[in-house]
Structure formats: structure tokens, C-alpha cells
Amino acid sequence: YDVVSYFSGEAQVGSATHSTKLNDVTYYFTSKEHLAAFEAAPTKYLPQFDGYCAWGVGAKESKFPINPETFDIVDGKLYLFYNGPFEGKTLNTLLPWNSETSVLLDAAHENWEKIEKI
């Protein structure tokens, strides 16, 4: 997904036509303008917690996979979330995140220092 597109409020699939590599990760963009914006300020657009589920990091001290279409922008930073099947039901971790954003955000940043290298 195009990490710049999230900041316009919509998760969009990028293209290999407009791509770049940073720290051994390939990023895809929807346009050359998005690619240029990313190259000018990559840290502005990178998802927090290396793209792991922000709720998982904050609430469970764990690295959960994400659904790239489930996200939040808080204080100009991109946070991604799990949204999919879990124990026979659907779990959308953005919902509990939204009900306790400030508490979970603080916990996630504290917990990330513990689990980042795991």
C-alpha cells in the first residue's frame, strides 16, 4: 500500500512503477508525486511500530499482523491495525484503539522498546 495515500484518508494500493527501497523494504506508490513526497521525508510517512498492529503493541505487548485498510493517523503519524478473523469471529482492533487511544498510544510506545527486537 502507498503509505503517502493514508494521509489523504484513503488506503490505496501502490504500483511497482512508482517504488523505492528504504532499509531493505520496498515501498509502492500510486503516483510519482507520492513517491517524491516519500523520498523527501520518509519518516513522516512510515507506519509506526514497523507496521505491526498498534493495538497489539499497546494492549498485548505483541506484534500482530495488520489489515492495510484499517488505519488511524494520530498527531501526524500512521498507525495500522489488525482487522480479520479471530476465534470464529471478526476482530477489528481499531475499535478498542479508538475507545482508548491516548492510553494505548502511550503503552504502545513504551512496549515497543521492549518488543521491537523480538
What pLDDT digit, counting tens, does each position of 79-100 carry?
999 999 999 999 999 999 999 9
Can you give the pTM of this predicted structure? 0.95
3-state helix, strand, coil in the chain (%, to 5): 40, 30, 30
AA letter at 30? T
Per-residue pLDDT band for 48 (boundaries 50, 70, 90) equals: very high
Per-residue pLDDT band for 111 (boundaries 50, 70, 90) equals: very high
Mean pLDDT, the chain, whole residue set? 97
CA 48 to CA 60: how far, in whole Å?
16
Greatest distance between any 2 Cα atoms in the chain: 43
